Amino acid sequence: MSAEAIRVTRVRRVYTVAAGALIALDDVDLTVPAGTFVSVIGPSGCGKSTLLRVIAGLEDPDSGEVSVGGVSPAEAARNKMLGLVPQTPALLPWLSVLKNVSLPAKVNRSAGRRRRKESGTDGPDMVELLRKAGLHDVMHKLPSQISGGMQQRAAIVRAFGLHPDVLLMDEPFSALDEFTRESLQEQLLDLWDELKATVLFVTHSVTEAVRLSDKIVVMAPRPGRITDVLDIDLPRPRGQAILKTAEFHHYEDLVRDRLRGAFQGAAA
């Protein structure tokens, strides 16, 4: 894995719609250092999810280049360097929680062994990860028998299952209540700290972005572009207490100011 986990260079993505061309991403540059937690925030329609899909190799840019760990997204995906957590858990309803989270490693045994050899670890034990995520007591239940928050935790554990270098997360907590969301943020940070993956996390929540991130990428719409990249210099671990500190509120205010500036610039 190179020192740069993700590099996006002058990426442009255009969709054809009834009204003409919709520029989802315009001349986007982004570098994500390996091992960091980076959030992408911005108003609806600014290209956050499009950027994630391009990095994941699910869409090709119309121009520009993307690399993940020094290789193309397609090669990174083939080598199981990428993990993806969508907005909905997408668990298989006929499998238990444990079987759901273990499935990627079983389907990709050779890739999993190679990834573990390259990382110099034995790889994560799924039962232990479920315990850390607070799911040990429900690991033999079906998805329909557990709450939405538990399902999303299972989806996160599943994504960590092959020990990916880069984990892409597209608003995974957006449908959850605030209390559940805060609890999952803490558990996500614990898993990230243990497994050392690089995380690129899309969110609409300023508080969530500040709590989780080393850096916050601010985007603006029409056309979708990056307007700021802010460093978040707060100590870790970031438990509930940090949400009440003056330093935390300072960063919340700073991000909101930059978001207002990006939105006003787009409307001008």
SS (H, E, C) the chain: CCCEEEEEEEEEEEEEECCEEEEEEEEEEEEEECCCEEEEECCCCCCHHHHHHHHHCCCCCCEEEEEECCECHHHHHHCCCEEEECCCCCCCCCCCHHHHHHHHHHHCHHHHHHHHHHHCCCCCCHHHHHHHCCCHHHCCCCHHHCCHHHHHHHHHHHHHCCCCCEEEEECCCCCCCHHHHHHHHHHHHHHHHHHCCEEEEEECCHHHHHHHCCEEEEEECCCCEEEEEEECCCCCCCCHHHHHCHHHHHHHHHHHHHHHHHHHHHHC
- Residue reference for tokens 């599943």: 158
Average the pLDDT over 246-255 and give the result.
Answer: 97
Q: How many angstroms separate the Cα of 55 from the Cα of each of 10, 167, 168?
A: 13, 11, 8
Residue 255 scores a pLDDT above 70: yes
Does the reported pTM lie above 0.85?
A: yes
Residue 122 scores a pLDDT above 60: no
Residue 169 scores a pLDDT above 50: yes
User: Computed over its alpha carbons, how large is the radius of gyration of the chain?
Assistant: 18
Q: Provide the domain count of the chain.
A: 1
Residue 123 scores a pLDDT above 60: no
Strand order in the sheet with 20-33: 20-33, 4-17, 63-68
Residue 116 scores a pLDDT above 60: no
Average the pLDDT over 26-52 and give the result.
Answer: 94
Task: Give the residue with greater pLDDT, 187 vs 66.
Answer: 66
pLDDT for 120 equals 45
Question: Lowest-pLDDT range, 186-200, 209-223, 247-261?
Answer: 186-200
Task: Give the residue with greater pLDDT, 52 vs 131.
Answer: 52
Q: How far, in Å, CA of 229 to CA of 258, rounded?
A: 10
Q: How many angstroms separate the Cα of 57 from the Cα of each of 67, 73, 190?
A: 10, 5, 27
pLDDT for 20 equals 76
- Residue reference for tokens 């909101």: 256
Question: Lowest-pLDDT range, 82-91, 102-111, 170-179?
Answer: 102-111
Residue 6 scores a pLDDT above 70: yes
Question: pLDDT grade, residue 43 (50/70/90)?
Answer: confident
Task: Give the residue with greater pLDDT, 61 vs 108.
Answer: 61
Average the pLDDT over 234-261 and give the result.
Answer: 93
Q: What percent of the chain has pLDDT over 70?
A: 91
- CATH number of the domain to which 112 belongs: 3.40.50.300
Q: How far, in Å, CA of 38 to CA of 230, rounded?
A: 10
pLDDT for 121 equals 43
Residue 25: count of CB within 10 angstroms of its CB:
27
The dihedrals phi and psi of 29, each to the nearest 5 degrees, come to: -120, 135
Give the rounded distance of the alpha carbon of 70 from its chain centre. 19
pLDDT for 39 equals 97
Mean pLDDT of the chain: 87
The tens digit of pLDDT for each residue in 92-115 reads: 999 999 999 988 777 765 554 444
Q: How far, in Å, CA of 36 to CA of 29, rounded?
A: 17
pLDDT for 52 equals 95
> Domain span at residue 144?
4-267
The tens digit of pLDDT for each residue in 128-165 reads: 888 888 888 999 999 999 998 889 889 888 888 778 89
